[in-house]
Structure 1
Amino acid sequence: MSTVTSPRALDHPARDEIRLETVLHALSDPMRLRVVCELDQAGAELNCSDIELPVSKSTTTHHFRVLRESGVIQQVYRGTAKMNGLRRDDMEALFPGLLQSVLGSATRQEQRDQA
């Protein structure tokens, strides 16, 4: 069972608690997929405010929470900023090729939409 170690720490599932159906649910929403794509393109942690979504702040917070609780992203506080990064190693260990396949498909879909 995962635990919170300090008031500023956020709860994340341990690798063995991450479930395929929860990950697929998290990735099925266009806004959450957009967050994952932006994190992938950045190749580094991003602050929540670095990722602009066309939804309210409370809805954005919800999307980040779903991604964190599903195990797709890791969120940590650095000072007052909440930083986000993909849990690539965990995703690859549990579901080999899934994240790269989803990201590649999202890129191809975006290219089709722009054509």
Structure 2
Amino acid sequence: MTSAAPTTSSRDLPHPARADIRLEGVLHALSDPMRLGIVRELAADTGRELSCSQFALPVTKSTTTHHFRVLRESGVIRQIYRGTAKMNGLRRDDLDALFPGLLDSLLAAADRQATRLGVPG
């Protein structure tokens, strides 16, 4: 008996498997202040998915799309369509399993830096 191939839609977005997430890719993705801000916002809404439109980024739509793509392709976030909205969720479980303590340390350092610089966050 053969099993049917999983159904995919043309709107499915590629994500790396947990085993394919690389430390240097994660660090590169989080090295940009805009992308780090997105991750901080996702981390603050623990467990919730946020649509792209919920982020008030001071850049063009194409630049916003680029930032989300870098985060997705590095394995930092998962993006799925719900209707017409592209929802974003932090891949905390995967990141914590691969790099224990890394995400919490980076987020804490980002919070301290924001406080030191007087940047809202």
Tell me the secondary structure at the aligned position of residue 88 of structure 2.
Answer: strand
Partner of 2:3: none
Structure with max Cα Rg: 2
AA aligned opposite 2:25: T
**Are 1:65 and 2:69 an aligned pair?**
yes
Tell me the secondary structure at the aligned position of residue 75 of structure 1.
Answer: strand
Instruction: Give the superposition deviation at 1:5.
Output: 2.7
Partner of 1:107: 111
Quote the Cα distance in structure 2 between the aligned partners of 1:57 and 1:22: 23
Where in structure 2 are the equivalents of 1:45-60 lying within 5 Å? 45-60=49-64
Quote the Cα distance in structure 1 between the aligned partners of 2:95 and 2:19: 11
AA aligned opposite 2:109: S
Number of equivalent positions: 112
Quote the Cα distance in structure 2 between the aligned partners of 1:5 and 1:68: 18
**Are 1:80 and 2:84 an aligned pair?**
yes
CA RMSD of aligned residues (A): 1.3
Listed one character per residue, the Cα deviations across residues 49-105 of structure 1 (whole Å, up to 9, x for unaligned) are 001111111000000000000000000000100000000000000000001111101
Task: Name the structure with the higher helix share.
Answer: 1
Partner of 2:18: 15
Instruction: Give the superposition deviation at 1:114.
Output: 1.1
Percent sequence identity over matched residues?
70
Partner of 1:24: 27
AA aligned opposite 2:77: I
Quote the Cα distance in structure 1 between the aligned partners of 2:8 and 2:108: 36
User: After TM superposition, where is structure 1 displaced by more than 3 Å over at least 4 residues in a row?
Assistant: none
Structure 1's unaligned 5+ residue stretches are none
AA aligned opposite 2:37: R
